[in-house]
Chains A and B, each alone.
Chain A
Amino acid sequence: MQLATDSAKEVKKQKKRNWKRWSIHLFPIPALIIYGLFVVYPLFAALTYSFFDWNGMVRGDFVGLKNFKDLFTLEPFSGYFWNAFGHNILYFVLQMIFQNGLAFALAYIIFKKIRGAEFLKISYFLPRLLSVIVVGFLWKLILNPNYGALNVLLEKIGLGHLQEAWLGDPDTALIAIILVNSWYGLGFGVLIFLAGFQSIPKELMEAGKLDGATGLAMVRKILIPLMIPSIMIMTVLTFIQSFEAFELVYAMQGSQGEPYHSTDTLAVYFYRLAFGGSTGGSTTAVGLGSALAVVLFLFISIFTGLYLKYMQKKQVDM
């Protein structure tokens, strides 16, 4: 009898030990389920959606690559596509210049130990805390042609002839949006570049100085190569963000990318295809939208992948 209870106890203990050992495998399960269901699954589903005909949100027949063909060859869809694609490219290039170029210069200045560095960092960063929709609406008010602060300010300082209907004119609307985006993202760039500058070993700078490198030569030969990791991060992030640009355009110019689609981007066009308004009406084109999503997804991942690979090689070469 005594023996039996002992062995029963032993079994119980053993079971408990086993449970302890394998229960650890439950730990990543909640994260996996939520992340898998709401991030990974939808992106794979979007891929399969692009091969079907869609009637509203109801799936129709398998149509192979027809959606992709239509996207690139059928008017007005192909026209919208290339128009928006061009805007995304401009978005990226101008963001690199205005946001990242400026951020690099400012980070360098702060790195040079100027007084008020903390105040400057906080000031540049503050816009990043606002919701993008708040940023869009705030600037829409500031850029208003009649009552907006910018035009009034120009008038006051005697530059009245520069007044513009910034968001109403197809020539300035997109650039205005990109500049607003740079205003929003500047502080983030400053912090990333500043962290980059601060991680450069002091000895390298000293060595450069001893070798007689001054001013620009110092920047070009020593600082820039050592800054490649942070330049790389900002380039990739700006690239992804430029090709996903949606919120700001939507807030400032609506889902049609007014005026006359002059501020349309691929993500805004995608939104129109998916949720209506692609041809001015409310008809949706989920198949085309999914095809566009796949194209955009491949484009972003291939370019970021290639760029990262190229930069890594370059870094090893040095």
Chain B
Amino acid sequence: MKHTFWTKPFYYVFAFFIASISLYPILLMILSSFKSSAEIFTSPLAFPKSFTLETYKNLLDQIPFMQYFLNSTIVSVVSVSLILITSSLAAFYIARFTFYWNNMLFFFFLMGMMLPIKLGIVPLFILMKDLNLLNTLWALIFMYTATGIPISVLILTGFFRTMPHELEEAARIDGAGNLRILWNVVLPLMRPALGTVMILQFIQSWNDFFFPLVFITDEMKKTIPVGMLSLFGQYSADWGALFAGLTLASLPMIVLFFIASKQFMEGLTQGAIK
């Protein structure tokens, strides 16, 4: 394609300008968390003068952030593990066997990606109440596992189907059962796909705000996102602590992203492209 002499510079200016809009609010959030509230009000845009950690101390005094953090970690780790186990079992069944209901089963799982589950929240609330799961982390763990299964089954089934059958056959002749074949032969070859599922589901369960909003009212059972709701509800004047809270809530995800940015970006888009 022919470029006029100004197209390339225009591309650069435009692309980097938008990038600065993407980055600046996050930078502002982190920098403001090191300013006292008074400093934020007088000079919100300036670089922090003294880098105070007072804001973080205030934050930890005001809300049980460590408890939120622990809850978020438990919920995310357990639901991601459950998703990996249940989805790989189901995907193995769908991809490696040809029972005549397999397509129907696959479709049944895929349907879940289109279902707006939030609209079922009233029956879910009643279900959780009947199961005595309200105000427990299990309510969240079950929800994230259930909502994570469809896309995970899709990704894993896609991967299973591309793998050659020979290794499996060899193991079968050696007398290995299905579970052993899945665990010892197939799964080790699936690391990239399992990684994708793990990252995708970890982001979802770590960041979700809707389910704990409905299922959790006990302060000690809250995850970080609903914890933010308590923070902003009760301490809305202490902007230093607010920015510190937002920063702490986002930091784990941002750090992980910089460790594995490629996998993150692939993970989040993969489900959509397939």
Chain A interfacial positions (CB closer than 8 Å to B): 20, 23-25, 27-28, 30-32, 34-35, 37-43, 45-46, 49, 57, 102, 105-106, 109-110, 112, 114-116, 119-134, 137-139, 141-142, 147-149, 152-153, 156, 183, 186-188, 191-192, 195, 209, 214-215, 218, 230, 233, 237, 240, 243-244, 246-247, 250-251, 267, 270-271, 274-275, 286, 289-290, 293, 296-297, 300-301, 304
Knowing A28-B89, A57-B126, the reply to whether A39 touches B1 (Cβ < 8 A) is no
Q: Does B66 lie at the interface of the complex (its beta carbon under 8 Å from any beta carbon of A)? A: no
Chain B residues 15-72 with CB under 8 Å of chain A are 15-16, 18-23, 25-26, 28-29, 40-41, 44-45
Task: Point out the residues of chain A lying under 8 angstroms from B105, CB to CB.
Answer: 28
Q: Please name the residue on chain A nearest to B258 by beta carbon.
A: A122
Knowing A43-B119, A152-B44, the reply to whether A32 touches B90 (Cβ < 8 A) is yes
Task: Point out the residues of chain A lying under 8 angstroms from B97, CB to CB.
Answer: 24
Q: Shortest distance in angstroms between B42's beta carbon and chain A's nearest beta carbon?
A: 9
Q: How far is the CA of A265 from the CA of B217 in the complex (A)?
A: 24
Q: Does B242 lie at the interface of the complex (its beta carbon under 8 Å from any beta carbon of A)? A: yes
Contact: B1 with A218, CB < 8 Å? Answer: yes
Q: Does B263 lie at the interface of the complex (its beta carbon under 8 Å from any beta carbon of A)? A: no
Task: Point out the residues of chain B lying under 8 angstroms from A267, CB to CB.
Answer: 118
Q: Kindly count the residue-residue contacts between A and B in the assembled complex, taking CB atoms under 8 Å apart.
A: 249
Contact: B116 with A133, CB < 8 Å? Answer: no
Contact: B242 with A137, CB < 8 Å? Answer: yes
Q: Which of A110, A131, A240, A246 has the most CB of B within 10 A?
A: A131
Known: A20-B177, A27-B90, A126-B257. 20 other contacts (CB 8 A): A28-B105, A34-B82, A34-B146, A34-B149, A46-B122, A105-B14, A109-B15, A124-B18, A126-B22, A129-B264, A130-B253, A131-B209, A131-B225, A133-B225, A137-B232, A147-B44, A195-B269, A215-B1, A218-B1, A296-B119
Contact: A286 with B122, CB < 8 Å? Answer: yes
Q: How far is the CA of A38 from the CA of B41 in the complex (A)?
A: 46
Q: Does B254 lie at the interface of the complex (its beta carbon under 8 Å from any beta carbon of A)? A: yes
Knowing A46-B122, A109-B15, A275-B214, the reply to whether A129 touches B117 (Cβ < 8 A) is no
Task: Point out the residues of chain B lying under 8 angstroms from A114, CB to CB.
Answer: 8, 11-12, 15
Knowing A31-B89, A31-B90, A187-B22, the reply to whether A131 touches B120 (Cβ < 8 A) is no
Knowing A31-B109, A114-B8, the reply to whether A215 touches B2 (Cβ < 8 A) is yes
Q: How far is the CA of A274 from the CA of B236 in the complex (A)?
A: 27
Knowing A109-B11, A114-B12, the reply to whether A152 touches B45 (Cβ < 8 A) is yes
Q: How far is the CA of A32 from the CA of B87 in the complex (A)?
A: 9
Knowing A39-B117, A246-B118, the reply to whether A188 touches B268 (Cβ < 8 A) is yes
Chain B residues 172-230 with CB under 8 Å of chain A are 177-179, 203, 206-210, 213-214, 224-226, 228-229
Task: Point out the residues of chain B lying under 8 angstroms from A296, CB to CB.
Answer: 116, 119
Knowing A125-B265, A129-B264, the reply to whether A183 touches B257 (Cβ < 8 A) is no
Identify whether the interface residues of A are mostly helix, strand, loop, or mixed: helix
Contact: A214 with B1, CB < 8 Å? Answer: yes
Q: Which of B44, B127, B243 has the most CB of A within 10 A?
A: B44
Q: How far is the CA of A138 from the CA of B94 in the complex (A)?
A: 44
Contact: B124 with A42, CB < 8 Å? Answer: yes
Contact: B45 with A153, CB < 8 Å? Answer: yes
Q: Please name the residue on chain B nearest to A23 by beta carbon.
A: B178
Q: Which of A30, A209, A270 has the most CB of B within 10 A?
A: A30
Contact of A274 among B122, B224, B273 (CB under 8 A): B122
Contact of B265 among A57, A106, A121 (CB under 8 A): A121
Contact of A120 among B15, B86, B146, B250 (CB under 8 A): B15
Q: How far is the CA of A230 from the CA of B269 in the complex (A)?
A: 11
Q: Does B114 lie at the interface of the complex (its beta carbon under 8 Å from any beta carbon of A)? A: yes
Contact: B86 with A138, CB < 8 Å? Answer: no
Contact of A38 among B20, B142, B225 (CB under 8 A): B142
Q: Does B272 lie at the interface of the complex (its beta carbon under 8 Å from any beta carbon of A)? A: yes
Q: Shortest distance in angstroms between B130's beta carbon and chain A's nearest beta carbon?
A: 11
Task: Point out the residues of chain B lying under 8 angstroms from A215, CB to CB.
Answer: 1-2
Contact: B26 with A126, CB < 8 Å? Answer: yes
Knowing A134-B228, A152-B45, A186-B22, the reply to whether A270 touches B272 (Cβ < 8 A) is no
